[in-house]
Amino acid sequence: MSFRRASLTGSAELFQPTRVPDQPGPVAAATAPDPLPPPPARPSGRLYRLADDEFRIVLQAIQQAKFPNTAASRAKPALDEFDQLEAVRQSLLRQRNERG
């Protein structure tokens, strides 16, 4: 299969700045710089600080909540895990109440 190349005669006129009949030269809007983009939106919500071990506990609790039918999730947490979860919960509640 072969293709013939199209002629681009006269296409230079397509790339000329737009001119207004009453004014010589290009239109001001054609040469104006693009407007600045809007500033990025500030994230909403609150910032909570967690230590690495607290973060691990929260991730583990989320995993168990997402997949409650897995063998590891069927058993109740051990007493020390339960106490760790309660400590993290209390820490998060305290941080929320301090910020109002």
pLDDT in tens, 59-87: 888 888 888 787 665 667 778 888 888 99
Helix, strand, coil percentages, rounded to 5, for the chain: 50, 0, 50
Give the range of the structural domain holding residue 62, as residue numbers without chain letter: 52-99
Count CA within 13 A, CB hemisphere, residue 6: 3
pLDDT of residue 67: 82
User: Based on the structure, what is the number of domains in the chain?
Assistant: 1
User: 19: helix, coil or strand?
Assistant: strand
Q: Which helix (H) or strand (E) holds 79?
A: helix 79-99
- The answer to whether residue 71 is domain-embedded is yes
- The answer to whether residue 64 is domain-embedded is yes
pTM for the model stands at: 0.46
Length of the chain: 100
- The answer to whether residue 30 is domain-embedded is no
Q: Which helix (H) or strand (E) holds 81?
A: helix 79-99
> Which residues in the chain land under pLDDT 50?
none
- The answer to whether residue 13 is domain-embedded is no
